[in-house]
Each structure stands twice: as structure tokens, then as C-alpha cells.
Structure 1
Amino acid sequence: MLALNKEVVNSLIINRREVRLMGNKFEISVVGSDPVWAGERINSAIAEITRVEKLLSTFTEESDVNTINRNAGVKPVKVSAELFKLIDRSIQISELTFGAFDVTYYSADKADEDINTPVKICTAVNYKNVVLDAVATTVLLKEKGMRIGFGANSKGYAADRAKYILQLEGVISGVINAGGDLLTWGFTPDMEAWTVAIADPRQKNHPYADLEIGNMAIATSVNTDKYADINQKRSGNKAKNGFAISGIKSVSIVSPTAEFADAMATPVMTIGVNAGIYLINKLNQIGCVIIDDQNRVYPSKDITLA
């Protein structure tokens, strides 16, 4: 990008398209001088996001995810290498966050459910009871009634895949906005780094500070117990242990991948300011900005707010 001559740079514009995908608003922006070419690239990105949506769908009877869920407590299921790797990464994030992030949940069939079943199984339904066989690429949910789903990280993964396809097709700069979570690469048409405003959760148009996110992704989770009307990704209003989340208004995670940023935003909110900052500070190339109930801003060690 930096090697482009001045004439080419002066002709660059941002070509945008907004679409509804995966139950969210996606805005795909491609930097280029030819709107027709840019439109074709955006079509490729949309096709890839649609493919990921089908891959992770629980509404398609023959999908690998549904097959895994149907065979919970019964037998391992062979899956595609792509889905296997996504599940493996999800389990690693669960381990990193001590279960605050977890792609498993409990959903017994009515015919098999009795009054004691939920009590017996709820403590056993967690990421530790997902058995992966890397050689056979199989997945087993050990407990009957276990389910697996990707609502917490599917958007981010789809954005990463769309970026990959766009880069393969020669897009050297762009932004993917996946329901408020942003993934960027390259530079703006003015050869500047992409930046994002860290907003006050009470006033979405009132930024606290600007944050440079060139070649990075950022995902934000907002405490819905206090700010249910904010147009951001919402955390659940209770932590996994059943207690209401308190002390934090919002968490923004900055990461090289949208998948990881998407997965980590709500867990960091759940574990609190001190533990969240401590966790993020231990990770390479990962940053966060936390805003607490008193409007105090806590950036992690590698984050500089303008």
C-alpha cells in the first residue's frame, strides 16, 4: 500500500455495502479506485459470510453442528477440519477464561426430561466434557442433553474469513463491521491508520477517546443490566454462576482476529475489572479498554488512548 504512487492514492475511495447476515448488520468497506471491482469483491465477502453461517447453523438438520448435538452422550461425530479447529480454539478460550466463555449449553428433549435431570446434568455440561480427537477429527459431547453453539464467536469468525477472502482477491485495505465489532487492515484512502472512538455507554455519540486499530479487530460488550438500550453487543445480564454482573459498563477487546475479540469481550466483563485487566495483560498482541460504573477508564498495558 505504501508503495502506491501519488496518482493511484488520490483516486482511492471507500466502497461500502450494508447487508443483513447471521442475524446482524454487516457493513463491508473496500478501499479501491474502481467501484465495479470493489463491488465484486464485496460480493465474495458476502458469499463467504453466508457459507460460514450455514456451516455453524443449528437450523439446518444435516449440519455438522446439529449432528454433534443429536449424538450428545451417544457417539463421536466426524466433522470438517474447519469446524474441528474452531471448536478446538473455542475450548482453548474456555480454558483461558476458566469457563467464563463456553460454547456448550444444556437443552434436553422434552420426551427425555424429568424433574431431576436438569439438576443432575447442569454441572456436567461444560467445555471439559467436549472430547476432541485430532487424528479422526471427531467431536463427542459426553453428556446427554449437551449442545454446542457459536453465538458468542461466530460473527467474529465470519468477519475473519471474509477478510481472508478479500485479501486473496487483492483488497489491500478495508473494514468489516460485524454488528458493531470492527475488523480492519491496510490504511484509509488518506494513508492514515484506521481509528475507532471508545464511546460512553450512556451516550453512544459521545466518545471518551480515539483508539488506533490498524490491522486489528475490536469487539465491545455492554452491561445490559444497566444499559439495555445501547446499540452494542450485549452481555448476558447474569454471569455463569447466576450472579448479576456489576461494576463494569463496557469492555472493548482489541485483537489480531475478530473471532478472539468477539469471544473475549463478555468473559472479561464477567470476571471484573482487576481480573480482566490482569488476564489481558498476560496475553501477547491483545488489549482492552474497560469502563466501570463510575465512568473510570482502564486500558490494558499496551493500549494508548488519544
Structure 2
Amino acid sequence: MKHAFLLLLLLGGFSATAQVLRTRTVKLMGSRFDIILVAPDSLTAESHIDTVIAEVTRIENLISDWKEDSQISQVNRNAGIAPVRVDPEVFALTERALHFSQITHGAFDISFAAMDRIWKFDGSMTAMPSPEAVKKSVEKVGYRDILLDQAQSTIFLKRKGMKIGFGALGEGYAADRCRDLMLARGIKAGIVNGSGDMSTWGKQPDGSDWTVGITNPHRKDTLFAVVALRQSAVVTSGSYEKFVVFNGRRYSHIINPRTGYPATGVSSVTVFGPSAETANGFSTSLMVLGQAAGLKLIEKYPNYTYILVTDEGRIFSSPSLALKQTRL
């Protein structure tokens, strides 16, 4: 359930201090990564950007479900056959993903990777798929059939044809890892933005906070909120770029893994918090759960705040964000 991203980085001015800001944009994990670091000099910044790229590449080689030699690909090839031993890092990421499946009752599910792609969002669809085709498209999806053995560090997919994938968590996890790695190496400020899964820390060279603009999902050329980020991650999921309309109803490209039908009712969800990985899980889940059930879930986790926009343009947000606007 790869989502659309609605984030615009708003950089402030530069100071006359010794700190410099360097940026680089690269393609990693099949997506755009923007890496922004603040360091004492250009050479240090560029060297650490290289380190970030190497770390993301290392993670990609572990968890990519389209690289044949990755551990996740090995797990998928052995679905219905045998458990596969994986690194503790991969095991822990899978555990956290399954926890999201449990708290969302399957609205989030890493076994979505086995879903048949019967919905097309490129303009080629002229009619809705049949109920039978939709039901069949998710017959190999089901997080309850993912078995973890902590003692052996193994993952086993019970049914042949099952697959798991980290398209909805991997970039956020990588962004978090790189932020922590840079802090450990003395880089006190920066941003790692994995295709909209953004981890930030510290401040800009002029001492101002990093800020992020939230795009109006009903008017893509405008912002409706600008939020300062302090040692924070932010992720946006949205349906305004990829959707189809049948009988006057808009169907998102984000598919409900429990039903096989696209999510409806919510145009965008932005989630702020300490972890981009977790924020991604929440933003994707809230798109599927919808406004009422989604807000009931995330309000149980006070470390995470949200801005949710419905298809009708109503805005719901955490009180702590002090967002006064209630409708677009």
C-alpha cells in the first residue's frame, strides 16, 4: 500500500556561523531520497551523506522483496515450505509490523505483497472489478499466517504463494536508522527524507526549526498548514494523486488488505512523532480505517499527532498542533 506524499520542505535562511548545510538527492529503495545534513564543513557533510547512502543500501539489501538475494525474498520463496532464518534486525522489523497488524485488526498487513493488482490507477479502468475478482485478489493475504520463532530468529509463511514486503515501513525505518547513526557520529542536525518518510533532528544553520508544509489534497498547488519540527519524524499518506471514480465515489490507490477494496473517505493523513517507521504505519492504517476508527486508534498513542483530511474537506487534528482550520 505504497502511499502518495504531500510534504514540502521549507528551508530557512543561512547563518554566518561555521555550520554548513549540504543536500543530495539519490534513488534508493526504488524511491527518491533527499539527504540534508548540517556539519562544520562541506567535506564532513559530504562524507556523512555517503554514510547515509551506504546504510540505506545495506537495509535495502536485507529487506527488499524484489532483490532475489535479500532475506525477505528468501522468506517469500519458502512460503508454505520451510521457515527461514533472518538477521535479528529483520526479525525485529517484522515483529513490529505484525504488532501494527494486531492493533489495526489487519488494516495494516505486510503480507499485502501477495495481493493481485487488479485495481489500475493509470486511467485504464472503465469498470469496477467483480466482487469475485476482488475477493480472490486477497486470498493469499493474512498476517495471522506469518509465524515468527524468536528463539530461532525465523520467519515462516504458512501458505504457498504468500509474500511479505516492507514497502509501507522500509523507508521510514531506514530514515530513522540514518538519523540515529548520524547523531551517534556527531552530526547534530539534518533530515533524511525517504520518499516522504521524513526523520529530522536538530535545527537549521541559522538556528530556526525545520518546517514542513502540508499540501491541500484538494488543491495541490497550495498549503493549508506549516508545522515546525523538533527532533521529529513526519509522514503523509494521501489518495489525491492516484484514484478512480465510479458512481460518484472516489476510490484510493491504498487498498484495504482485509477486503481488497480501495480505501475511501479520507484524502490525506499526516502523522508526526518520534519514529518515521511508526508514523508511516499509522498514516497508512488511518487511510484504510477511515476517520472515526482511525482517530480512535491514534489517540491511544499520545507521542504521535495527526492531521486528517476527509474527502469532503473536513480537517481533524491533534489539539496540541493548535491547527485552527477545520475545513478546506
TM-score (norm 2): 0.80
What is the alpha-carbon distance in structure 2 between the residues aligned to residue 125 and residue 258 of structure 1?
A: 25
Which residue is equivalent to 1:185? 201
Could you report, residue by residue, the CA deviation over 1:49-84 in whole angstroms, capped at 9, with x for unpaired residues?
Answer: 111111112233332112211211122111110100
Instruction: Report whether the alignment pairs 1:251 with 2:288.
Output: no
Cα distance change, pair 288–235 in 1 and its aligned pair in 2 (3 A): farther
Task: Point out where structure 2 has 5 or more consecutive residues left out of the alignment.
Answer: 1-14, 116-131, 245-250
Q: Does residue 194 of structure 2 align to residue 202 of structure 1? A: no
Q: Cα 1:257–1:214, aligned 2, differ >3 Å: closer, same or farther?
A: same
Partners of 1:69 and 1:278 in 2: CA distance: 34
Give the deviation of 1:226 after TM superposition: 6.6
Q: Residue 37 of structure 2 corresponds to which residue in structure 1?
A: 30
CA contact (8 A) 1:224 1:237 kept: no
Structure 1 contact 277–300 (Cα < 8 Å) conserved? no
Q: Secondary structure of the equivalent of 1:147?
A: coil
Written as runs of structure 1 = structure 2, the 5 A alignment for 1:1-306 is 10-105=17-112, 107=114, 122-123=138-139, 125-224=141-240, 236-240=253-257, 241-305=259-323
Residue 188 of structure 2 aligns to a residue whose secondary structure is coil
Question: Separation in 2 of the partners of 1:236 and 1:49?
Answer: 26
Percent identity of the aligned residues? 36
Alignment RMSD: 2.6
Deviation per CA, 1:243-275, whole angstroms, max 9, x where unpaired?
443221111111211111122212101111121
Moved over 4 A (4+): 118-124, 224-228
Return 262-271 or 82-91, whichever deviates more: 262-271
Counterpart Cα distance in 2 of 1:301 and 1:53: 37
CA contact (8 A) 1:174 1:184 kept: yes
Q: How far apart are the structure 2 equivalents of 1:155 and 1:235?
A: 21
- Higher relative contact order (CA closer than 8 Å, sequence separation 6+): 2
d(CA) in 2 for partners of 1:200, 1:293: 11
Q: Give the direction of change, closer, same or farther, for the CA distance of 1:40–1:85 in structure 2 (3 Å limit).
A: same
Per-residue deviation, 1:197: 1.4
**In 1, are the aligned partners of 2:34 and 2:192 still within 8 Å (CA)?**
yes
Shift of 1:153: 0.8
2:160 maps to amino acid: K
Deviation at 1:124, TM superposition (A): 6.2
Structure 2 vs 1, CA of residues 119 and 149 (structure 1 numbering), >3 Å: closer, same or farther?
same
Does the CA contact (< 8 Å) of 2:75 and 2:156 recur in 1? yes
CA distance in 2, matches of 1:189, 1:284: 30
Runs of 5+ in structure 1 lacking a partner? 1-7, 109-115, 229-233
AA paired with 2:253? Answer: G
Distance 1:150 1:44, change over 3 A: same
Q: Which amino acid aligns with 1:246?
A: T
Residues in 2 aligned to 1:146 and 1:189: alpha-carbon distance in whole angstroms:
48
* Cα distance in 2, alignment partners of residues 223 and 107 from structure 1: 21
3-state secondary structure, aligned to 1:104 = helix
For 1:214 and 1:125, the matched residues in 2 are separated by 38
The DSSP-based 3-state class of the residue aligned with 1:125 is coil
SS at match of 2:320: coil
Relative to structure 1, the CA distance from residue 60 to residue 272 in structure 2 (aligned partners, 3 Å threshold; closer, same or farther) is: closer
User: Contact 2:218–2:313 at 8 Å: present in 1 too?
Assistant: no
CA deviation string 1:123-148 (max 9, x = no partner): 56311111111111111111111111
Report the AA paired with residue 169 of structure 1.
R
SS in 1 for 2:269: strand
Deviations 1:12-64 (A, max 9, x none): 23211111111111111111230111000101001001111111122333321
Q: Comparing 238-247 with 88-97, which one deviates more in the overlay? A: 238-247
Report the AA paired with residue 231 of structure 2: N
